[in-house]
Amino acid sequence: MIFKINIFAFLVIFLLLILTTIISFRCKKKFIRLIKKLKEIQKIISESFNYSDLNSLLNFVADSITNLLNAEKTLIYILNQNTQILQATIDNIKIHLKVGEGIAGYVAKTAEIVNIKDAYKDKRFLPLFDQKANFTTYTVLALPIYDTKNNLIIGVVEVLNKKYKKIFTKEDENILKTFSSTLGGILSNIKLCGDSKELFESFIKSFATAVDAKDPATKGHSLRVVKYALNIAKALNLSEKEMNILKYAATLHDVGKIGIPDNILSKGERFTEEEYEIMKKHIEITKEILNQIHFPQEYIDVQFIASTHHEFLDGSGYPNGLKNEQIPILSRILCIADIFDALTSYDRPYKPPYSLEQSIQILKQMADEGKIDKEILGLFISKKLYQIERREYVRINRQVAFSWSKLTPEEVRALVSSNLAKTLNISHKGLQFISKEELNEETYLEVELYLPNYTINVIAKVVYCKKEETDEYKVGICFVNLSKETEKFLDQYLTLT
């Protein structure tokens, strides 16, 4: 009996031992798995700080969650607080849901976690994503994303289809909860940065527009200077931060012209000495205006760069006669970009535009005299960084048949209409097209535009010619002698049809 009891006791103890081993082993396994997942989350979160724009961050996070939970897709909805509409963008598909609509809308409304086994049997489910992406949703795990600081729901994360036809577990819920609380913090930060950046950019642009309004003669000048300057900065491999400073400084460099009297600004001839002195004051005014703007810390140099664009390396510039290393590289770039545009501009009332060759010659002479940076200028010329789209008006993406041929040979006439080309885009000022042949800037073309029932003959000037990857050339031409009436006619045709 004792023996029997002993055997029984032994069996019970043995079974208990096995059971506890199994349980502890399973717990341990679960624990290890959880730790592993948490480590993964940590890694994803630290990597997510590399993304400064919302879309790429959201894509990265969605992919990471999909992997983390062994699922097929993850949708991250962002809630617009004003419209109360949730929007998710995935694989270039946009999905909009009102709060209350669909699973995500339900989660946004109730703040509940939703874990469903069969989506199509759930009344709340709307197959919007399925229809657009040709996808079939089975299981869904969805929960709200909080801006914990303000205790506000700012989005919903929706994970679809646990792999191998499994269902989402409590463990999955916990992992996703951990993840989404941190995600909430990151998102609200990014959104805040994004908002203030947008505000800042629009503010700066509106300033530049104000200068244009004041001085129509130099319309588009600041914009073109931005393009030249950024071309140089790119060629010099400058950092993103430097490029941004340069962009803002170039946009704002002449903002001080707002304070120059109209009769001087729009004077149709050369300035007198006195007028020139007044004109020079635009720098000080620029400086003053920019002093009033609160720049984010990383753009604090914008004011200095913008207000030193007329300083020369030999100290002969204005307003402070700075020299050599006192003039930072961004100011040197801005100075060259500014002079080049002033030289080549058609719209300066006091001077005719210089040709590309003449302008380069003048700049080279200035470099020889030690006024502007020789190396930067060398790069500007050798890499043809002056090739930018100079036309600032709206072009319409429309194909109009037209022909072109070089004007110089006598057989020009015979060649016209043999070169039937198609425009890439066209306005009443000029057009773009693809040419097999390289066309030098400053080349004049005789162009015939074939509109229905009407042919326009016009002389055009090649303003830029860029080699494409296809070994063809993208050519931009400007109409030179289009009469006002024809211009109007063409504009109307392009706008109304």
Closest CA to 366 of 326, 432, 311, 290: 311
Q: Cα-atom radius of gyration of the chain, to the nearest Å?
A: 33
Distance of closest approach, residue 342 Cβ to Fe ion, in angstroms:
6
8 A C-beta contact, residue 427 and residue 391: yes
How distant, in Å, are the alpha carbons of 326, 390, 391, 462 from that of 227? 25, 9, 12, 19
What backbone torsions phi and psi does residue 436 show, to the nearest 5 degrees? Answer: -75, -25
Distance of closest approach, residue 362 Cβ to Fe ion, in angstroms:
16
Distance of closest approach, residue 394 Cβ to Fe ion, in angstroms:
24
Q: How far, in Å, CA of 183 to CA of 146, rounded?
A: 8
CA atoms within 13 A on the CB side of 433: 28
How distant, in Å, are the alpha carbons of 7, 212, 345, 358 from that of 266? 111, 12, 15, 25
102 Cβ neighbours under 8 A, 6+ residues apart = 124, 125, 126, 128
Q: Given the complex with Fe ion, which of 116 and 232 has the nearer CB atom?
A: 232
Q: Given the complex with Fe ion, which of 215 and 254 has the nearer CB atom?
A: 254
Length of the chain: 497
Q: Given the complex with Fe ion, which of 87 and 320 has the nearer CB atom?
A: 320
Q: Given the complex with Fe ion, which of 147 and 338 has the nearer CB atom?
A: 338
Give kind and range of the element (H or E) at residue 304.
helix 302-306
Distance of closest approach, residue 441 Cβ to Fe ion, in angstroms:
22
8 A C-beta contact, residue 40 and residue 61: no
Distance of closest approach, residue 291 Cβ to Fe ion, in angstroms:
17
Q: Given the complex with Fe ion, which of 254 and 373 has the nearer CB atom?
A: 254
Cα 216 to chain centroid distance, Å, stands at 27
Q: How far, in Å, CA of 250 to CA of 243, rounded?
A: 10
Distance of closest approach, residue 259 Cβ to Fe ion, in angstroms:
13
Q: Given the complex with Fe ion, which of 58 and 223 has the nearer CB atom?
A: 223
Closest CA to 329 of 304, 300, 297: 304
Q: Given the complex with Fe ion, which of 220 and 315 has the nearer CB atom?
A: 220
Q: Where on the chain is the footprint of Fe ion (CB under 5 A)?
A: 254, 338
Distance of closest approach, residue 254 Cβ to Fe ion, in angstroms:
4
Instruction: Show the DSSP H helices in 311-406 as ranges.
Output: 329-344, 356-368, 374-382
Q: Given the complex with Fe ion, which of 147 and 254 has the nearer CB atom?
A: 254
Give kind and range of the element (H or E) at residue 278.
helix 273-280
Q: Given the complex with Fe ion, which of 141 and 260 has the nearer CB atom?
A: 260
Distance of closest approach, residue 341 Cβ to Fe ion, in angstroms:
7
Q: Given the complex with Fe ion, which of 301 and 338 has the nearer CB atom?
A: 338
8 A C-beta contact, residue 89 and residue 55: yes
8 A C-beta contact, residue 240 and residue 348: no
Distance of closest approach, residue 282 Cβ to Fe ion, in angstroms:
6
Distance of closest approach, residue 39 Cβ to Fe ion, in angstroms:
55
Q: Given the complex with Fe ion, which of 212 and 338 has the nearer CB atom?
A: 338
Distance of closest approach, residue 417 Cβ to Fe ion, in angstroms:
43
74 Cβ neighbours under 8 A, 6+ residues apart = 61, 62, 63, 65, 66, 157, 158, 159, 160
Q: How far, in Å, CA of 362 to CA of 340, rounded?
A: 9
Q: Which two tokens stand for residue 484?
A: 């006002």
